[in-house]
Amino acid sequence: MCVKHVPDTAATIRIGTDDCIDENITFIMNPYDENAVEEAVRLKKQTIDADVIAVTLGKGTAEATLRSAMAMGADRAILVKSKSSHDSISTARALCAAIQRDGDPDIVFTGKESVDNEGFQTMFHLAACLDVPVVSNAVKFAMTDTTIRVTCEMEAGDLEHIEMETPCVIGAGKDLNQPSYPKLPDILKARKKPLTEIELSDLGIATPASRVEMIKIESIKEERYPEIIDGTADEIADTIVHVLREKAKVLDG
Amino acid sequence: MTKKYDAIIIGSGVIGCPIAYELAKIGYQTLNVDKLPDAGEGSTAASCAIVRAHYSTEDGVAMAYEGFKYWLDWENYLDHAQDEKGLAKYMNTGSILLKSQGHDWRKVQSNYDAVGVAYEEWSVDKIKEMVPVYDLHEFWPIKRPEDPDFFNEPEKMLEGGIYCPEGGYMSDPALSAHNIMRAAEAKGSEFIFNAEVTAVRSENNQVLGITLNDGTEIDAPIVVNVAGPHSYKINQMAEGVYEECNIKTKALRHEVMHCPAPEGYDYLNDGYHTSDGDVGCYYRPEVGNMFLIGSEDPDCDPQEWVDPDVFYAGKETYERNNQLTVEQWNAQTYRCARRVPDMAIPNQPRGVCDLYDCSDDWIPIYDNSSMKGFYMAIGSSGNQYKNAPVAGHMMAELIDKCEKGLDHDKEPLQYTLPHLGRKIDVGFFSRNREINYNSSFSVNG
C-alpha cells in the first residue's frame, strides 16, 4: 500500500521561506493511509502467502511513517527518496515505477486522500499508470478467490457496490476499518524489518506534459465574528431563526 | 470607582479558589482575578489531578493524606454549594507505588507509618494478580528510547509494591476548581475573569492593590499570588518581593500522553493509579479506557523552561506549544509500554501539554513576604493539586494570623491539620529556605 508522511493534523502549520511550510513540526502517517495499512494487514491474515509492502515518496524523514506501517503489520517497505515536493501525477508515476520494479501487486491500497494537500488525485493517476481499475472511499471490502466486492461511499450516505478483479487500486475510507495501533514489541520488530531506499532520479520517470505548479502558499485567516444573543427564550429563538434565515441562509422561506 | 476588598487573590485555579473559600469563611471579603475566562482553565485544567499520599517528607505525606479527607467528602467540603456545571468526582482507584530504585520507597513507607496512612505491601505475584497486564521486570536505570540500551532484555524482577487503598484522581480538575469557586461565592467571595494583572501597587512597603490591563485599579490591604506558571511574573510586579525570595519559581513545559489500554482489559474500572519510578512514569486510567502517562522527570530527560506568556499565546516557534513532541511521546509511551507491553501506541501523538509552576527544589512556597499584606502560594511543581483544599485552609490561617500580628518569618506558623490533628511547620514552605535537598526534585515532591 502507498502511504504518505504528512504534518500532524494537530500541528500549527507555519509558512517558512521559499513558499514551503516550516517542517519542524510533528509528522505522522496520513490518517486514511492507516485504514489502507489495516485492510492490507487484515487481508494478509486471511490469505496465505501474501506480502504486505508499504511504499512512499518523500524525504528521508518519511522512514518514520514506513516504520509505523511496518509496526502495524507491513512486512517490508520501499522509500522513494526525493527532496522536493511533487504533484499527484509525478507522485503516481514515481510510486508506479517503484511498485513495478518490485513486482506485480494484486491490490494497491491507498488512503482516499492525504490530509496535507487533499488533492484526491494520486490514486487515480496511479491506477492509470498501472492500467488497472480504481475505487475511492471504500468503506467495505471483501475478497474471494476471483472477485473483490467493495462498497464505496460516494456522497454522504450514498453507497455504491462495486465488483472488480485484481489487480486494482483501492482508496481506503475512514469507515473501512478501525486501525489497530501497534504495541511496543511491534514497534521494536518494525525497526528491524527491511526497508529499501531508491533515489527518485534512479527511477527514470518521464516528466509529465502538464504539471501542477505551486505559485504561492498562504495561510487562511479564519475570522469569526461572535455575537451574544440576549433576551427571553422566545426572543432568543426568534433571533436564531432570523440569523439562520438571513445571514447563514440555511432556512427557506 | 475603585472598589475595595479585604483580600485580592491573583489566580482562580485549584489553589486560588480554596484560599478565597477559606478566607470568606472567616469573614474576609475576597476578590479573585484571573486572566482566563473561567475558574480552573489554566494549568489546573491540564493537571492529572492525582490524589496520592506518597511524598519524600513526613509533612508532605501528612498534608496529602489530609487532602484525601476533602476529596472523599467533596459535597460536605463544598458545604453543599450548587454548581450548574455539576460536581467533579473523586475516582478512588487505589494507588500502587512500585518498589524500585527510582523511588525512596522505604522513606515513604516510614512516612506512612508515622502519619498513619493505610497501606498494604504487595508482592510481585499479588500485583500480577491484581493487574495482569503489568510486566514486573526491573527496567532500571531509566533511559531514553534513543539509547540502544533502552531495549535491553530485563533480567531481574521488581521487589513488589506498596498499595494504598485510598488514592486515585479527580475526574475533572478544572471542574473541581469551579466547584470551589461556587462554594466560595456562596460565602460571599467575588471572582472576575478575563482580567490580567499588570501591576501590584504598594506604598511604604504595604501592598495597596492591583491594576488590571484595562487600567482598572482595585484596592485591598492583602494580595495573594496564586498565579500558577505566571507566579514569578506577579512576584516581579511586587516591589522587592522577587528579589528577596531565596527560592524562585519558573515555568516548566510538561507533556502527558494518552494511550489505549490493552485490549480486553478494563483499565478505567479495574486499573490502579501507579507510580513507577523504575521507568520514570506514573499512570492512571482516563476516559475512553486510556492510560494517562505522566513523567517523573528523570535526569536523562531535557527540561524546557519557558516564558508562560509566550507559551500560552502559542507564539514560540514550531510545535513547542500545546502540542506533544515526537521525542517525548516516544520516551513516555515506550517507558510505560515496558511495564504494559500490550498497551497500544497510536501513530499520532495524543495528550496534554502545559506548564508546571516549578520551584527551585520542587517544594511549593506557602508564605508571606517582606511586603506587608503580600502573600504567595506558588511553585506547585505539578504535585500540589491533591493538596489544594489543605493549602487553601492553611493559607487562610497564615494570612489571618499574620494580619493579626504574627511574625511568620521569625516564628513560623504551626498549622494543625484539622482532620489528622497533626501539626505542620509552615516555615518548611518558606520563600527564604535553603534549597531542600531531601526533595525528590521531581513531580513526586
Angle, alpha carbons B212-B213-B217 (nearest 5°): 30
CATH code 3.40.50.620 region(s) in chain A: 5-203
Last residue of a domain, one of B354, B383, B400: B354
B319/A188 CB distance under 8 A? no
In this structure, what CATH number is given to the domain that contains residue B403?
A: 3.50.50.60
pLDDT of A137 strictly over 70? yes
Which one, of A210, A200, A168, lies nearest residue A57 by Cα? Answer: A200
Query: Domain check: are B209 and B259 in the same one?
Result: no
pTM for the model stands at: 0.90
CATH fold, domain A5-203, is Rossmann fold (3.40.50)
In a domain, B138, yes or no: yes
Query: Closest to A185 (Cβ–Cβ): which among B317, B341, B349?
Result: B341
Residues of chain B with pLDDT under 50: 1, 317-320
pLDDT attached to residue A48: 67
Q: What is the mean pLDDT of residues A123-149?
A: 93
Residue B268 sits in which domain range?
A: 90-169+252-354
| A101 membership: H or E segment, kind and range | helix A88-102
pLDDT attached to residue A22: 78
Amino acid at B158: L
In angstroms, the CA B382 to CA B394 distance is 19
In a domain, B444, yes or no: no
pLDDT attached to residue B443: 80
- HSE-CB at A146 with a 13 A cutoff on CA atoms is 0
Supply the mean pLDDT for chain A: 91
Amino acid at A216: K
pLDDT attached to residue A227: 85
pLDDT attached to residue B334: 97
pLDDT attached to residue B318: 44
Which one, of B326, B281, B315, B306, lies nearest residue B442 by Cα? Answer: B281
pLDDT attached to residue B319: 45
- Bridge partner list, B273: B95
Query: Domain check: are B269 and B235 in the same one?
Result: no
What would the grid cell of residue A192 be? 528491524
Q: Encode pLDDT of A75-118 as tens digits.
A: 999 999 998 888 999 999 999 999 999 999 999 999 999 998 88
Q: Identify from B347, B348, B350, B353 which residue to disrupt to test chain A contact, counting A C-beta atoms within 10 A and taking the largest count.
A: B347
Residue B298 is given by DSSP the state -
Please name the residue of chain B whose CA is at the shortest distance from the CA of residue A28.
Answer: B348
pLDDT of A132 strictly over 50? yes
pLDDT of A218 strictly over 90? no
Query: Domain check: are B66 and B122 in the same one?
Result: no
pLDDT attached to residue B371: 97
Q: What is the mean pLDDT of residues A22-31?
A: 87
Q: Which stretches of chain B sit within 8 Å of chain A by CB?
A: 151, 260, 314, 317-319, 321, 323-326, 333-334, 337-338, 341-349
pLDDT attached to residue B131: 97
Per CB-CB distance under 8 Å, the chain B contacts of A184 are 333-334, 337-338, 341, 343, 345
pLDDT attached to residue B222: 98
Q: Which stretches of chain A sit within 8 Å of chain B by CB?
A: 8-12, 14, 22, 24-26, 28-29, 31, 34, 64-65, 68, 72, 180-185, 187-188
Interface ipTM > 0.90: no
Q: Identify from A17, A26, A28, A70 which residue to disrupt to test chain B contact, counting B C-beta atoms within 10 A and taking the largest count.
A: A26
* Total domains present in chain B: 2
Per CB-CB distance under 8 Å, the chain B contacts of A29 are 347
More confident residue, A17 or A234: A234
